Amino acid sequence: MSPYGVGRRAVLGSAAGTAAALALGGCGSGSGSGEEGSARPPDRKKGERITLTFWSWVPGIDGPVDLWNRTHPEVRVDVEKVSAVGGAQYAKMHAAIKAGNPPDLGQIEYATVPSFLLDNGLLDLAAYGARRHKEKFVGWEWAQSVFGESVYAIPQDSGPMGLFLRHDLLDKWGIEPPATWDAYEEAAKAVRKRGAYLETFSATNGNRFAGLAWQAGARWFRVDGERWTIDIDDDATRRVADFWGGLVARKLIRTIPDRQNAWYKDIQTGQLVSWLGASWGDVLLAGNAPKTAGKWRVAPMPQWRKGDAAYANWGGSTTAVFAATRHPKDALDFAVWLNSDPASIKLLIKGGYGFPSAKRGYSTADLEARRDFFGGQHYTDVFQRAAKGVDTSWQWGPATDTLYQRLGDAFTEALADGGSFRSVLKKVRDQTVGDLRDKGLKAEAG
């Protein structure tokens, strides 16, 4: 039985006693939302006009949605841009689920999908025939939102990681793009001698740190039956923590937060000459450092062993349908169209999103609208190679936002006290086990 089978009504009923029943009464008056288990909302009548609300924060999402609205007059989609500062978009979605008035669709990153299953927030799309769309999408990205037999979201894009470099400066200083992490360390030293910095270790960027651990072969979350195993303090992650802790301790890199006011200034002035980013970072650099156009290049992520081809993913998101929607079928149709229709993908790319999750419907040249900024380099090739080398067995846990926050707090403390990065891992692992248990889950340290 799927987790959203008959049990669902009972779940909601007992969740918060009579008070919750009040809330359900308030929002469910239309057509039985909250009753997917026992009575599916009726399909839309032919010719009936409906409106779906879609929460997203991706700047370029309006383009494809406008196209959809022009070509699908019966199903209008309203985009509402929610604030994405510090994970506020998810806070809002969780809040809206509790408040009983979530939108029909939401943009949710892979890492955050499981946390929405905890409050029964997402609709199992398998019940509406989602599985037959599986072949349209890259396997591991599709698998990120599949739990058991259930499909909880349609993948939109991924963020294969790469190394953005100030080619002009490194060239002038005679520094090669580092192929290994050893070479990366040497490059950091060389750049430091020129008065600039190679990179910053952003304590609050748990996302990127996870990507680095992912590349090194870590697997932070595993689930076996009902039991979650948290393995943040493993050898692979320790290697990553030791490496960056060493760079910080020797003051070879900065420790300011990335993608913030000071960082924008530094990448524009050449104080920072590289950034370990992801494919979607091309727009970010081009938009925020317009004065450095033509000077950047993209190189593959450095490797732990020379000649390896291990890569990682940073970010990427899905289009999910919330459980309370009154139009599940139309919402699913839109989600699939948005992420696999060639015309939509073209517009998404134009709006500057990540690497398409769809297997077909675009060419890599489409993804290179910013080639001028990168001196004419076919930089998408780098990301495409990375996308193929991502370890696809990685799985996210049900409290990723809390985990990022824990990592951020612990790294912040370590930077302030001069504590070791390795001690951060054990601490965060223990906290995460506690967090999952606090949520009523069974969890243990790996």
Residues numbered 196-215 forming contacts with other proteins, rule: CB under 8 A: 202-204
| Span 224-243, contacts to other proteins by CB under 8 A | 225-228
Residue 290 is a binding residue for other proteins (CB under 8 A): yes
Candidate list 255, 377, 420, 423; residue touching other proteins; CB under 8 A: 255
**Nearer Cβ to other proteins, position 119 or 242?**
119
Residues with Cβ < 8 Å from 209, sequence gap 6 or more? 240, 407, 411
Residue 435 is a binding residue for other proteins (CB under 8 A): yes
Q: For residues 342 and 331, give the distance between their C-alpha atoms in angstroms, rounded to a whole number.
A: 19
**Span interacting with other proteins, options 163-171, 208-216, 292-300, 394-402, rule CB under 8 A:** 394-402
Rg (CA), the chain: 23
Q: For residues 78 and 103, give the distance between their C-alpha atoms in angstroms, rounded to a whole number.
A: 10
Counts for the chain of helices (H) and strands (E), in that order: 17, 15
Record the tokens describing residue 320, joined without a space: 């999910």
Residue 301 is a binding residue for other proteins (CB under 8 A): no
| Span 308-347, contacts to other proteins by CB under 8 A | none
Q: How many residues bind other proteins (CB under 8 A)?
A: 92
Instruction: Give least dist CB 229 to other proteins, A.
Output: 12
Residue 3 is a binding residue for other proteins (CB under 8 A): yes
Residue 420 is a binding residue for other proteins (CB under 8 A): no
Record the tokens describing residue 125, joined without a space: 């799309």
**Alpha carbon 219 to chain centroid distance?**
16
Instruction: Give least dist CB 41 to other proteins, A.
Output: 19
Residue 401 is a binding residue for other proteins (CB under 8 A): yes
Residues in the chain: 446
| Span 75-114, contacts to other proteins by CB under 8 A | 80-88, 90-96, 98-101, 114
Instruction: Give least dist CB 389 to other proteins, A.
Output: 26
Q: For residues 251 and 227, give the distance between their C-alpha atoms in angstroms, rounded to a whole number.
A: 41
For residues 34, 36, 38, 41, the Cα torsion angle rounded to the nearest 10 degrees is 100
Please, what is the end-to-end C-alpha distance for the chain in angstroms? 29
Candidate list 251, 350, 388, 442; residue touching other proteins; CB under 8 A: 442
Residue 278 is a binding residue for other proteins (CB under 8 A): no
Q: For residues 390 and 427, give the distance between their C-alpha atoms in angstroms, rounded to a whole number.
A: 27
Residue 402 is a binding residue for other proteins (CB under 8 A): yes
